[in-house]
């Protein structure tokens, strides 16, 4: 639909798109059936609902920072109709009972929540989690996010097992022995600020290792939140060799650099860290040429009392569900809208196994017969981010006071308007 933008009404019934107005001289207008709910999309674009591959909902274990319900509401307000919940909760999502608990809590929230399972028990990197059992519960993505699987032998075994199950491993690429003790990107700014650095090689060594392992095993692999120019180059070369790799980048890694930490504000502490301008430019180029497949928020809420600690002691992470559209449309304004939709909806849905090709309901075209999971965006709306007014239980956004262009106006989940005029309906 986006590739052929046109003015048209969209008729939805029973959770599916029934009709899209045609260019018949009436401007694509349709007559609303009696009793229909009419959502005004004037001056906006109707897009497939966004899909976030990388959301931290914190439940179970840290409900003060976020719950499945509050995170889902933030996601809906940000135009997302589906999110993949990361497993680094407390306890971690490494068992059938833990996965079922999250699935149960997510039954009546305003986005579809898909659970990512842990690759290893307790995310400790020592024993494989019961991946087959979790796959039977619908888990299609496995990751020890927050920890990279440090053992090459363990990662190879996991890839072999995943290949047999038809699931995808998503790797947090960080060699612990290289990153240990680091608080920000190792470079000019870490030297100026006297803060211990995390070198680019901490990410790139694991990227290279896992690309080689995936090629050898013949398994699919997804690389989380890439942040360095070297990582982009490695993925680009691997794709040319036919490695079954996909990759994501975050809005903050295309919009912020390590210079943001100049005031020692822990809001700018994240993992992987904000990198140099050269790295940011390389990640943006990787998105533009398709080397990096998707944009994912890595929404990571933290309680104020922990995020207010000194920079080197504060936990890494930023919230991002409600600002993602504005940041992407502002910072990547040179990209065609169709490409933005591919990076934030179509491709993430395919990677997560929830797109039309897998019988799923997300990331599909706006066409008759497809699921009515939609977001309506005002591309021209400007707004200033006020973290205290966001729906997340936490306020650790690095964009406070920043003016963005582009804002979600309505979100429709399975035919139901869950956000109308920027207000959550449930």
All structural domains of the chain with their residue ranges: 48-404
Tokens of 221: 């692999």
Q: Give the E-state strand segments of 103-237 in sequence order.
A: 112-115, 141-142, 168-171, 184-185, 197-198, 221-223
The pLDDT, as a whole number, for residue 426 is 80
Annotated active-site residue 298? The verdict is yes
Domain with residues 48-404, CATH architecture: Alpha-Beta Barrel (3.20)
Element (H, E) at 236: helix 229-240
Tokens of 394: 């936490």
The residue ranges of the chain whose pLDDT is under 70 are 1-4, 23-27
Contact (Cβ atoms closer than 8 angstroms) between residue 408 and residue 375? yes
Choosing from 145, 210, 298, 378, the catalytic residue is 298
Beta strand 141-142 with 168-171 is parallel
Distance of alpha carbon 221 from alpha carbon 327, whole angstroms: 27
What is the 3-state composition of the chain as percent helix, strand, coil, each rounded to the nearest 5?
35, 20, 45
Distance of alpha carbon 285 from alpha carbon 301, whole angstroms: 28
Phi-psi label, residue 382: left if phi above 0, alpha if psi -120 to 50, beta otherwise: beta
Strand partners, 170: 222
The pLDDT, as a whole number, for residue 1 is 42
Distance of alpha carbon 115 from alpha carbon 109, whole angstroms: 14
**N residues, the chain:** 426
Phi, psi of 124 (to 5 degrees): -95, -10
Distance of alpha carbon 119 from alpha carbon 134, whole angstroms: 10
Cα-to-chain-centroid distance, residue 408: 16
CA distances 405 to 81, 186, 312, 324, 377, Å, are: 21, 32, 33, 11, 11
């Amino acid at each position: 639909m986006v590739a052929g933008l046109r003015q048209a009404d969209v008729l939805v019934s029973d959770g599916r798109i029934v009709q899209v107005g045609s260019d018949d001289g009436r401007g694509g207008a349709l007559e609303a059936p009696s009793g229909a709910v009419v959502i005004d999309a004037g001056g906006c674009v109707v897009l497939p609902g966004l899909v976030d591959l990388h959301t931290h909902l914190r439940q179970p274990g840290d409900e003060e920072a976020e719950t499945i319900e509050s995170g889902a509401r933030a996601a809906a307000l940000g135009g997302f109709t589906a999110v993949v919940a990361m497993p680094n909760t407390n306890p971690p999502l490494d068992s059938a009972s833990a996965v079922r608990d999250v699935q149960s809590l997510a039954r009546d929230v305003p986005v579809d929540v898909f659970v990512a399972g842990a690759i290893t028990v307790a995310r400790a990197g020592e024993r494989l989690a019961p991946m087959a059992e979790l796959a039977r519960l619908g888990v299609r993505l496995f990751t020890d996010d927050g920890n990279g699987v440090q053992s090459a032998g363990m990662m190879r075994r996991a890839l072999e097992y995943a290949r047999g199950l038809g699931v995808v491993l998503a790797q947090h690429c960080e060699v612990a022995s290289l990153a240990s003790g680091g608080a920000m990107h190792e470079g000019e700014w870490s030297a100026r600020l006297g803060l211990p650095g995390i070198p680019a090689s901490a990410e790139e060594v694991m990227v290279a290792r896992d690309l080689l392992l995936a090629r050898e095993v013949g398994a699919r692999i997804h690389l989380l939140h890439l942040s360095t120019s070297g990582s982009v180059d490695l993925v680009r070369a691997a794709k040319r060799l036919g490695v079954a790799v996909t990759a994501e980048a975050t809005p903050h890694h295309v919009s912020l650099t390590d210079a943001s930490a100049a005031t020692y504000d822990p809001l700018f502490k994240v993992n992987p860290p904000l990198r140099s301008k050269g790295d940011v430019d390389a990640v943006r180029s990787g998105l533009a040429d398709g080397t990096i497949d998707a944009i994912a928020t890595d929404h990571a809420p933290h309680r104020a009392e922990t995020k207010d600690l000194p920079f080197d002691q504060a936990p890494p992470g930023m919230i991002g569900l409600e600002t993602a559209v504005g940041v992407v449309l502002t910072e990547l304004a040179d990209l065609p809208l169709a490409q933005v939709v591919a990076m934030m909806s179509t491709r993430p849905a395919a990677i997560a196994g929830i797109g039309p090709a897998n019988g799923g309901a997300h990331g599909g075209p706006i066409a008759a017969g497809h699921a009515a999971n939609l977001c309506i965006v005002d591309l021209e709306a400007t707004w200033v981010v006020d973290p205290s007014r966001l729906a997340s239980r936490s306020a650790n956004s690095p964009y406070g006071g920043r003016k963005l262009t582009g804002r979600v106006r309505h979100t429709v989940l399975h035919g139901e308007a869950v956000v109308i005029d920027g207000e959550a309906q449930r």
